[in-house]
Structure 1
Amino acid sequence: MATGHPHVTALPPELFTNVLSLLDAHDLCICKTVSRYFSMTIQSVPALQYIIELELAGMVDEPLCPLLTAEKLARLRSLQHMRRHMKLVRGPSIPYNRMKPFKTSPGLLIQCNDRDGIEFCQFPSTILGNEERRWTIDAASLGVVIQDICVDRSQDLLILVGLPSIPDVSGHHGGLMLILSLSQDGDPHSLAAQSRIVMQNVDSRLMHIEGDLVGNLVGIPESFLYGHIDIRSWKTGEFLWTNESFQIALRDNSTGGR
């Protein structure tokens, strides 16, 4: 009876592929140099090739993505081809409203117009499957003079901060935070317990959404260099945290100092 050392080719191909799938991109590249069999196996299995090409693209996988690995690999290659062979084509210009709040999000530009309404421009994208689209929310439906904008497309969330367009007869001089649906053209967000939240200070200089929370870098009216950070839940409207007043540091690009 002939005996010899077992060879990896004796393994069922599915088992061998499962073993290789446990490796990272660096180890897979090393395996490709070991033998022609290893190299052909890795190149023929989309799941293994996806690991390598994703690393080369400087990207990470999204586990919740519903696409098959072969589909994700095809999209990744399409994106990389577009990056390597980019051809800029001049399209229509978008007027920029100076001194008006604006915000950008992946594939979307939001800016206020001269009538205090909001203009949206969704850019076309083959990768994202978006068509070009433009729409406007009228100022009269908002009831605020907008001073700051924040958006989270993954939550269909649009948050506006501003002053009431009609003075409050009660004498309140604060501002309003509006929690709106991005896709429903400014209707109240379905997950927000309060769509209009009264704020003590409306001088919002920077706003950021993180999950259920929204943070505001709020300025002090008497000074441009001092402010504080307010954190609240946009879903419940509850005010959660604020820090003490601090000085806003400005970077001096000419010296590299602050």
Structure 2
Amino acid sequence: MSNSARSGFCALAIELMTLILSELDLKLLLQMRTVCKSLKSLVDESIALQYKVELAAAGMEDNHKSPLVMSERMSRLQQYTLAWQNLDFHTIELPPQPLSTWELVGGVLGSIAPKDSRMIFNRLPGHSRGIERKEWQFACTPIFPVRDFTFDPAQDLLVAIESPDKDSSHPNARPFCRLHVKTLSTGNPHPLAVSPVIDLPAWQYYDSGLHVEDLKIHAENFGLLLRYHFTDDGAETPFNDLVVVNWKTSDVILHLHRIYPLVTYTFLTEQYVALAISDGRARLEVHSLSKGYEASQTTWDRNSYLCAFDYPFPSPRPNYMFIQSDHASAHVSNNSPEVPFFAAESVKILSVYFTYQYSRNRPVEDERHLSHLIPIECLLALIPHSPDGVGTTWLWKYWAVQNSLTLNTCPDICWPSYVSGSKYADYIPKTHFNDAHVEVFDLNPVLARRESAKPSPGRSEKVQYGLRHLCYFADLPDPPGPEFKQSIMISDDGLVLVDFTGDGSRDTDLMKITFLSL
């Protein structure tokens, strides 16, 4: 910036300069501090500009509907960031309840009462953000057996699955899958859905054993996996179908069938979905949701992907892969004015957990377990946008080495809610030498750079510092009894400690929920 331009800009009213600077991205805003003393003072002393810097450091976006004044939002944001680094919890225990189907999305924990199919929801409290705990429940009407469900609090959306294996009145009828689209707050039909009930077609190749799994919502997209066996010449082969439905219009917008082996998938954006393919050489396949697939054109052939991200771990055994990411719709989570700020889409990560073996002669017990944490923005930057790039396979050294974090961890996939925003929670069980504790890895690059640049006397003793991440850790309370096992889940406002017995197959199996709110 020339002297004349700098002098002219600094001659503007402070309010106008602040308004102009607030439109800059974070990098340019921080560069303005180096232009002259006047601009440095303006950036450092303006609550609005410092709030923008702190939002980026915390991986958050401002809720413009919040009635709180800027100074109060700034104070809560600083408390929120510090509470995560110190893992300074407020503990709330719920009474033990039967172990049942559950879901944790966007700070809301939902479960099904086993006896009467009531839906029970708890909004987790957030002391730093000023969010109060709330509990509500309802019975779905008309009454139907809820096989599984998922929801998105930001859209007041609940999708429940009614999926009997067979129609009891027609023993030879093929299995079907019925989706009920409701509001999360009341259980009534969702007003934005054209139809409150969506019946997926009874595609004729489902010969036996249809199972519906891995329900996910991303904006208007609702995805699910259909697992089944296909019979050919008397032999049964396991397959998977990935189906994505627009829950507002009831249209099937993607149907990839006869995928094997496919363990799981995730939405990257409203436009892209990633499949975890584990056929010896693991990879993530990215498919477009805007190609207008038709059911008759969707047989998976290993080559029809938009692009793929390769893993370098060859294995004589099929690799097991499991993807976990945060599907809460941050960009529409402004519905509640009491939320002063919320997780930004730009810092979200996904976790790819997989197992592999280098030698066929090694026993299964020698399987290696890794969790690969990937900023979603790094994947999106490599997706081709021209026809010439379609079908590109990115090798590990070009897409992952500089941009991600690999951990020797084995997450509890029975409680798959260990990713929230830019954070990953790893539960470390109790041993003879250490108490049970949790490690929270934060891959927000802005925060990692800022905290790592601090001199040693100013660093927190509860934080481990990495090149691209921070790690927070804290001890956890012991289980209530020797028959209980433990697991951990993470949300925007803290952790959820789960003590449980059994696997839900017995009426006596219990789970005890403890909110560790920040």
State the TM-score bracket (shorter-chain normalisation).
0.7 to 0.9
CA gap of 1:123–1:23, structure 2 versus 1, over 3 A, is closer
Corresponding residue for 2:344? none
Deviation at 1:221, TM superposition (A): 5.1
SS in 2 for 1:145: coil
Structure whose alpha-carbon radius of gyration is higher: 1
Matched, 1:76 2:81: no
Question: Do the aligned partners of residues 75 and 89 (structure 1) sit closer, same or farther apart at CA in structure 2, a change above 3 Å counting?
Answer: closer
Partner of 1:174: 176
Cα distance in 2 for partners of 1:237, 1:26 equals 42
Structure with more of its chain in helix, by fraction: 1
Structure possessing the higher relative contact order (Cα contacts under 8 Å, 6 or more residues apart): 2
1:220 equivalent to 2:220? Answer no
Relative to structure 1, is the Cα distance of residues 142 and 255 closer, same or farther in structure 2, using a 3 angstrom cutoff? farther
SS of alignment partner, residue 78 of structure 1 = helix
- What pairs with 1:29-48 in structure 2 (closer than 5 Å)? 29=30, 31-32=32-33, 36-48=37-49
Deviation at 1:168, TM superposition (A): 5.8
Would you say the 8 A contact 2:165–2:176 is kept in 1?
A: no
Alpha carbons of structure 1 residues 42 and 130: separation in structure 2 relative to 1, 3 Å: closer
By how many angstroms is 1:219 displaced?
Answer: 1.0
Structure 2 unaligned residues grouped into runs of 5+: 231-235, 263-277, 279-319, 322-353, 356-366, 371-518
CA contact (8 A) 1:101 1:146 kept: no
**Contact conserved, 2:80 with 2:129, CA < 8 A, in 1?**
no
Letter in 2 for 1:218: L
Contact 2:108 2:153 in 1 (8 A): no
- 1:215-243 CA deviation, whole Å, 9 max, x = no partner? 21111157895211112221232333311
Match of 1:229 among 237, 242, 262: 242
Which whole-Å deviations, capped at 9, do the CAs of 1:107-130 have from their partners, x for residues lacking one?
211112221332212222245554
**Conserved? CA contact 1:122–1:134, under 8 Å:** yes
> For 1:245, what is the secondary structure of its paired residue?
strand
Cα pair distance change 1:246/1:57, threshold 3 Å:
same
Match of 2:511 in 1: none
Instruction: Confirm or deny: 8 A CA contact 2:163 2:212 kept in the other structure.
Output: no
Worse-matched range after superposition: 163-172 or 145-154: 163-172
* Larger fraction in strand: 2
SS of the aligned residue for 2:84 comes to helix
Q: Tell me what 2:368 maps to.
A: 255
Q: Is the partner of 1:243 in helix, strand or coil? A: strand
Q: Classify the secondary structure of the residue corresponding to 1:203.
A: strand
Whole-angstrom distance in 2 between the partners of 1:166 and 1:130: 44
> Is residue 2:208 matched to residue 1:207?
no
Assess if the C-alpha contact under 8 Å between 2:162 and 2:178 holds in 1.
Answer: yes
C-alpha deviation, 1:94, in angstroms = 5.2
Alignment partner, residue 472 of structure 2: none
- 1:152 corresponds in structure 2 to 152
Q: What SS does the aligned partner of 1:41 have? A: helix
Indicate the residue corresponding to 1:56 in structure 2: 57
Runs of 5+ consecutive residues of structure 1 not aligned to the other structure: none
- Amino acid across the alignment from 1:255: R
Q: CA deviation at 1:31?
A: 4.8
Could you tell me whether the CA contact under 8 Å between 1:203 and 1:221 is conserved in 2?
A: no
Partner Cα separation in structure 1 for residue 251 and residue 89 of structure 2: 46
Q: CA deviation at 1:28?
A: 4.4
Instruction: State the Cα distance separating 1:16 from its structure 2 match.
Output: 4.6
SS of residue paired to 1:219: strand
2:106 matches 1:106: yes
What are the superposed Cα offsets for residues 24-49 of structure 1, whole Å, 9 maximum, x if unpaired?
44454455466654433222212221
1:133 aligns with 2:134: yes
Asked if 2 retains the 8 angstrom alpha-carbon contact of 1:148 and 1:160, the reply is: yes
Deviations 1:48-104 (A, max 9, x none): 212322233244x35x72356555434422322333444223321354644x32211
In 2, are the aligned partners of 1:144 and 1:164 still within 8 Å (CA)?
no
For residues 89 and 224 of structure 1, what CA distance do their matches in structure 2 show?
50
Q: Deviations over 1:178-221 (max 9, x none)?
A: 1111111x111112222222233762211222222212111115
Q: Does the Cα contact within 8 Å between 1:232 and 1:240 map onto a contact in 2? A: yes
Quick check: 2:77–2:128 contact (8 Å CA) kept in 1?
no
**Matches of 2:242 and 2:85, distance apart in 1:** 42
Q: Is structure 2 residue 256 aligned with structure 1 residue 243? A: yes
Q: Partner letter of residue 143 of structure 2?
A: G
Partner SS state of residue 50, structure 2: helix
AA at the equivalent of 2:55: L
Identity across the alignment (%): 20
Separation in structure 2 between the aligned mates of residue 117 and residue 229 of structure 1, nearest angstrom:
28
Q: What is the rounded CA distance, in whole Å, between the counterparts of 2:248 and 2:225 in structure 1?
A: 19
Determine the structure 2 residue equivalent to 1:65. Answer: 64
Cα separation, 2, equivalents of 1:224 and 1:73 = 57
Aligned partners of 1:108 and 1:122 also within 8 Å: yes
TM-aligned CA distance change 1:52 to 1:241, over 3 Å? closer
TM-score, structure 1 normalization: 0.76
Q: Distance in 1 between matches of 2:257 and 2:120?
A: 35
